[in-house]
Each structure stands twice: as structure tokens, then as C-alpha cells.
Amino acid sequence: DTDVTIYPGLLSLTSQGELVRTLKTEKAVKADIDAAVKLLLKLKADYKQVTGQDYKAGCPPLESTVLEDTGPAAAVDGEDMVDPWNVSTTSAKGVDYDKLIVRFGSSKVDQELVDRIERVSGKKPHRFLRRGIFFSHRDMHQVLDAYEKNKSFYLYTGRGPSSEAMHVGHLIPFIFTKWLQDTFDIPLVIQLTDDEKYLWKDLSLEDCHRYAVENAKDIIACGFDVNKTFIFSDLDYMGASPDFYRNVVKIQKHVTFNQVKGIFGFGDSDCIGKIAFPAIQAAPSFSNSFPQIFKGRKDIQCLIPCAIDQDPYFRMTRDVAPRIGYPKPALLHSTFFPALQGAQTKMSASDANSSIFLTDTPKQIKNKVNKHAFSGGKDTIEEHRKYGGNPDVDVSFMYLTFFLEDDEQLDKIRQDYASGALLTGELKKRLIDTLQPMITAHQERRKQVTEEMVLKFMTPRPLDFNF
């Protein structure tokens, strides 16, 4: 499976260009040259229509995944499998994220970018940036260039409400999005795809909608400012906002069945709701989907923090954007939050033993970590002291990299664990001591969230920004 997908028309374009040149150098009859040039121009126009880019000899389109019709982009790469619905690998260290960057054609969040975010924002970069948890991006430099010239942007993220139970992994994009909002002081829209979950799972519409409202409470408990944040359920907002639906239809007109088949792997027996859905996840990337916030402007740049498995939706979005006259959204991608059993797969709400839920009691947290968290330690204390543990496969250590704020402490834990000075039980205790107060505090904040507050967050209204 190759990383770069070549636009099928590219080959004919290249050979047609060659033909024109040959005809000219060989001084062929004018009518033949003219006919060849005419075909070349048509191929170029087609190329631009499909890719949104001008043809340059020898350069494949930058993001051509949307044109692929040879099977899902999320195909198996060695052992790693990553698409919006599945994550698995055979490596205990987890998915090879550097390979994923190459496969998806995104860019690495390198030290230079982290330093630049620090310079531009004047704030210490969030631990998710310092530690490579938001590891990949598209167009972040462009967003920062514009921001430095006082051009604002907005944030868009989301969640598929498939049950009432949210786990700590679900908080990762929201914790980070909250930091971005505080740091850059910009509007935020949060899409709850209750429609998506209805289409994909065996759930009723009413349950999906109810989960959306329940999940909104956990999201609000992350501390978002109601004057700067709009949370919406697709089931509600699609019917309430003509501008949103107009964008959905525009996107639907510019993506073919072949293209979504290539990106998402849809087949003949998938319901047509699934095939139409990607346009609904794409639409919030365009500012005029929210006229109440952006006063009808369509040129406000969007930045989407999300887990890397959502990228297929936004590769499609970025491919469509220029063809319908909108800026491409920028992206910041996170790694997955590993399951308790190990980084071969991500935490899943449908497997109670793989997850720490936001509703777990301190005792449940303690028992789950002690009983289920995969350990990189040795079998006996003697061996562990002698050879040391392996933090790279140890789930408790991985969770600490997500949640322990202090860099020095984290580094010391890593060293002590690797040397054998720190035992598995002690490492687990550090994690339990970090998670318990964090989850308790979340539960307390969630209790403060009233129905009225949820209603306000979810009502289309202007936010505290002037566009």
C-alpha cells in the first residue's frame, strides 16, 4: 500500500503534455498541434476541477486521497490499522505515529512548531504539545502566520455520542481544545454527531440525542466559557440552520461515491445515510455554517483539534474546500488513548475493563489500575530490581504522560522505572494518586452543570466576538 495516491488523470495529463511538446519540436501540422493543445487544456481544467489546484508538471496533487478509488485509505499498513472506527496494532508500544504521518501526508509537530506556539501565544505549551501527544498537524504555520497579523481563527471539535459513559480518553481533545481557547481567545464550536451514531450503531434516534445532551454536560465540565462556545447536536442544528444545511449540500455535490468509498471503505450494502454523513462532519469547518457567530463571513480560518482517526473526514473536507470557495481547515492530531490492557488498541467505552470512566469511584479506579493496567515490569521483584521495567509499553506510565503535569517528576519516574528503582506497584500508585483527584474534580464540576446551562450552550446565538 503506497502513501501517495496518484490522480488517475495525472498520467494522461503528463503524456498529453509530452505529446504537445513532441508535435511542436517535430513541427507537425498545425491542426494536429491545435487539437493536442485543446485536449491538454481540457485535461488541465479537469484536473483543477477535481483537485482544486493548478496543474504543475511532475507534481501530484498535494492531498489526493479523496480521489483514490482503490479501497479504503485506512488500509492495513504493516500491522497498524487506523480508521474512524478501528484502531489496532500488534506493537505493545502502540501505533507507529511517524509512519502514520507519512501515510496520511500530514506534518510532524516538531520542536520548532512547539517553540513557535510558545512565542506567538506567550504561554508555556500544553503538556500534550510538549510530549508529542498532539503529534501531527496540517497548516498550523499558516494559522500562526495569520494570527501574528491579527487575523483570528476559530476552533472546531466534536464527539460521537454513542453512550452515556464517557472515559478519560474522550477528554483528551477537549482538555486540549480548552487550552487552545484560553490561549488564543477564540470562538469554539463543538459538534455532537448523534446522527452519525444512529446511522452506525443499533441505537434509537432518541437515545442518540439523549446521549448528546448527557455528553455535553461532561464537555461543559471541562471548563468551557459559555460566551465563547457553541455546542450543537446534528439532529437539532441541521433542521434549525439553513446556512449549515446549504453547506452540507454544497459539499455533497462535490464529492462522488467513488471518493467516499476510497476514503472510508463504504460498500454497496452500507445505508445511504453513511455515505452522505461525511459532508455533515465537514460542514462545521466553514465559518458561514454559523452565521450567528461569524455574521455570515465565510473566510474565517478553522482549526480542528482531533484524534488522528478523524483525519479521513478532514482530508475530504480540505479537498472540497477550495472547489466551493472556502479556506481549508487546519488540523492538530492527537495519538490515541491506550486501553488499560495495552497500547495495541485504544480505550473503548464498550469494554468496561479497558476503560477508566468519568463516573468511576476512587475505589474502582484503584482496582482497575491495579488489576488491568498492562505492566512493563518484570515478573519478580528481584528481576525488576536487576533489569528494570520498560516504560515504553507500560500503560500506567503512558497514562502519566497524559495527566501528570510536572515534567521533572515524569522524567524521574521514567528513569527510576527503567532502572528498577521504582516497582510496578509504586508506579501504579502514582497513577492512581493522579487519576483519583482528577476524576473526582471532574465529577464535582459536572454536578454543577444545570439543564439551563446545557440549553444555553446548545442554543444558536452570537458569541463574545466581533466579526
Q: Which C-beta is closer to ligand TRP: that of 304 or that of 404?
A: 304
Interface characters, 183-222, with ligand TRP (x: CB under 6 A): --------x-x--x--------------------------
- Burial profile 24-52: b = 16 or more Cβ within 10 angstroms, e = fewer: eeeeeeeeebeebeeebeebbeebeebbb
Applying CB under 6 A, the span of 8-16, 41-49, 157-165, 335-343 interacting with ligand TRP comes to 157-165
- Residue 327 has phi, psi (to 5 degrees) of -70, 150
Instruction: Compute the least distance from the CB of residue 209 to ligand TRP, in Å.
Output: 15
Is the Cβ–Cβ distance between 297 and 467 less than 8 Å?
Answer: yes
Q: Which C-beta is closer to ligand TRP: that of 187 or that of 377?
A: 187
Instruction: Compute the least distance from the CB of residue 309 to ligand TRP, in Å.
Output: 8
Q: Which C-beta is closer to ligand TRP: that of 69 or that of 83?
A: 83
Q: Which C-beta is closer to ligand TRP: that of 7 or that of 200?
A: 200
Applying CB under 6 A, the span of 64-72, 128-136, 151-159, 452-460 interacting with ligand TRP comes to 151-159
CA 169 → CA 10, 43, 229, distances in Å? Answer: 42, 47, 21
Instruction: Compute the least distance from the CB of residue 196 to ligand TRP, in Å.
Output: 6
Q: List the one residue from 306, 404, 410, 435 that touches ligand TRP (CB under 6 A).
A: 306
Residue 356 amino acid letter: I
Q: Is 160 in the site for ligand TRP (CB under 6 A)?
A: yes
**DSSP symbol at 298:** S
Q: Which C-beta is closer to ligand TRP: that of 255 or that of 404?
A: 255
Q: Is 82 in the site for ligand TRP (CB under 6 A)?
A: no
Task: Order across the sheet with 134-138: list the strands.
Answer: 107-108, 134-138, 330-334, 301-307, 153-159, 188-192, 229-233
Instruction: Compute the least distance from the CB of residue 24 to ligand TRP, in Å.
Output: 50
Q: How many CB atoms lie within 10 A of CB 196?
A: 23
Instruction: Compute the least distance from the CB of residue 305 to ligand TRP, in Å.
Output: 7
Q: Which C-beta is closer to ligand TRP: that of 47 or that of 277?
A: 277
Dist CA 368 CA 363 (whole Å) = 9
Instruction: Compute the least distance from the CB of residue 396 to ligand TRP, in Å.
Output: 26
Q: Which C-beta is closer to ligand TRP: that of 173 or that of 342?
A: 173
Q: Is 138 in the site for ligand TRP (CB under 6 A)?
A: no
Instruction: Compute the least distance from the CB of residue 266 to ligand TRP, in Å.
Output: 15
Dist CA 106 CA 361 (whole Å) = 39
Instruction: Compute the least distance from the CB of residue 315 to ligand TRP, in Å.
Output: 13
Give the three cell numbers for residue 446: 459536572
Beta bridge partners of 80: 77
Q: Which C-beta is closer to ligand TRP: that of 116 or that of 201?
A: 201
The residue with cell 446565538 is 461
Dist CA 237 CA 443 (whole Å) = 28
Instruction: Compute the least distance from the CB of residue 313 to ligand TRP, in Å.
Output: 7
Interface characters, 268-287, with ligand TRP (x: CB under 6 A): -------------x------
Is the Cβ–Cβ distance between 303 and 314 less than 8 Å?
Answer: no
CB-count burial class (<10 Å; 0-12, 13-18, 19+) for 391: buried
Q: Is 310 in the site for ligand TRP (CB under 6 A)?
A: yes
Q: Is 159 in the site for ligand TRP (CB under 6 A)?
A: yes
Q: List the one residue from 101, 166, 304, 358 that touches ligand TRP (CB under 6 A).
A: 304
Task: Write the CB contacts of 456 (distance below 8 Å, at least 6 apart in sequence).
Answer: 226
Dist CA 430 CA 432 (whole Å) = 6
Helix (H) / strand (E) element for 153: namely strand 153-159
Q: Which of 95, 103, 107, 106 is nearest to 74 (CA)?
A: 103
Give the three cell numbers for residue 451: 439543564
Q: Which C-beta is closer to ligand TRP: that of 55 or that of 176?
A: 176
Q: Which of 63, 58, 106, 15 is nearest to 309 (CA)?
A: 106
Handedness of CA 451, 455, 458, 461 (dihedral sign): negative
Applying CB under 6 A, the span of 242-250, 302-310, 362-370, 454-462 interacting with ligand TRP comes to 302-310
Q: Which C-beta is closer to ligand TRP: that of 52 or that of 158?
A: 158
Q: Which C-beta is closer to ligand TRP: that of 192 or that of 423?
A: 192
Instruction: Compute the least distance from the CB of residue 310 to ligand TRP, in Å.
Output: 5
Question: Interface residues with ligand TRP (CB under 6 A)?
Answer: 156-160, 191, 193, 196, 281, 304, 306, 310
